[in-house]
Amino acid sequence: METLSDIDQIIEKYAGNKSDFITGYADLTGLLHENYTGYSYGIVIGRKLDYDIIDSISRGPNYEYYLLYKKINKELEALVRQISDELSMLSMESIPVSPTTSDEEINNKFSETLRVDFSHKMAATRAGLGWIGKTGLLISKKFGPRLRLATILVRKPLFLTQKPYNKSKCGKCNICVDLCPANAANGKLWNVDTDRDEFYNPFKCREQCRILSRKNLNTDISICGICVSVCPIGKKIHE
């Protein structure tokens, strides 16, 4: 179990269409929270989101997007568990990291920082899947930000295939910054030494997500997705 094509085969077995996914291996040595001690390598998976639904939310969330968000979370959650089970049959210990926040993670520390112990986006930049855009999203070449991420952490060094991204490739494009209804980003370009809070304010973002979700969906959740929808890189699939 050393190559990406093996992982691709498992993804195909459980998820069906390989072309809806991007995958990469990450060396996360020294970058992880102590909860993950000993598991320094990651298999990172990006699952494409439905393009018609993402196109339809350029001015705010709708019910279809909400359902998609829930469906893909469930699918990815099951997928990383299945991959982890396959790996344990091959005597490879692993930790499947859920795409979304668990109830235990929603504590005081989370409320004060809006940070969890494991960042899928960091794993994704290390796996060479993309860079961080001006509104804090992982931007992949193939799907832009139109994807959801999940990771399986393993102990053994993996066969690294893609070079990590250490800086943004957004250049002068400011579309997501200009169209963000929360004015959550200041337009600064990301690099590995830039903390999230230097260029994007998650509290402003969440507050506006809540307002829009209440207005458009009549629910107390926080989804928006305008920045995902308007990014020009995701507008068509790049092979």
Q: Under the criterion CB under 6 A, does residue 227 sit at the interface with ligand B12?
A: yes
Q: Contacts with ligand B12 in 8-37 (CB under 6 A)?
A: 31
Query: Minimal distance in Å, beta carbon 90 to ligand B12?
Result: 25
Within positions 87 to 106, which residues make up the interface with ligand B12, using CB under 6 A? 99, 101
**Stretches 2-10, 12-20, 84-92, 114-122: which one binds ligand B12 (CB under 6 A)?**
114-122
Are 28 and 160 a contacting pair, CB within 8 Å?
Answer: no
Site for ligand B12 in 139-198 (CB under 6 A): 145, 147-150, 192, 196
- SS3 sequence of 141-177: CCCECCEEEEEEEECCCCCCCCCCCCECCCCCCCHHH
Cβ 221 to ligand B12 shortest distance, Å: 8
Q: Could you tell me which of 197, 56, 80 has the C-alpha nearest to residue 132?
A: 197
Interaction of residue 137 with ligand B12, rule CB under 6 A: yes
Could you identify the residue written with the tokens 């809806």?
Answer: 20
Q: Is 54 in the site for ligand B12 (CB under 6 A)?
A: no
For residue 84, what are the contacts with CB-CB under 8 A and spacing of at least 6?
Answer: 94, 95, 96, 152
Kindly state the number of chain residues that form the binding site for ligand B12, as judged by CB under 6 A: 34
Smallest distance, ligand B12 to C-beta of residue 111, A: 10
Distance of closest approach, residue 9 Cβ to ligand B12, in angstroms:
23
Nearest to ligand B12 of 10, 223 (CB atom): 223
Distance of closest approach, residue 172 Cβ to ligand B12, in angstroms: 19
- Whether residue 65 contacts residue 57, with contact meaning beta carbons closer than 8 Å, is answered with yes
Q: Does 121 bind ligand B12 (CB under 6 A)?
A: yes
Q: Which residue lies nearer to ligand B12 by CB, 170 or 224?
A: 224
Here the tokens at position 201 are 């304010």
For position 136 contacting ligand B12 by CB under 6 A, the verdict is yes
Q: Is 83 near ligand B12 (CB under 6 A)?
A: no
Residue 85 sits at φ, ψ, to 5 deg, of -65, -45
Neighbours of 36 (CB within 10 A): 16
How many Cβ atoms sit within 10 Å of the Cβ of residue 109?
A: 12
**Separation between Cα atoms, residue 118 and residue 103, nearest integer Å:** 15
40 lies in the binding site for ligand B12 (CB under 6 A): no
- Name the phi and psi angles at 120, rounded to 5: -65, -30
Q: Which of 64, 82, 71 has its CA nearest to residue 48?
A: 71
Give the interface with ligand B12 as residue ranges (CB under 6 A): 31, 99, 101, 114-116, 118-122, 125, 132, 135-138, 145, 147-150, 192, 196, 202, 205-206, 209, 222-225, 227-228
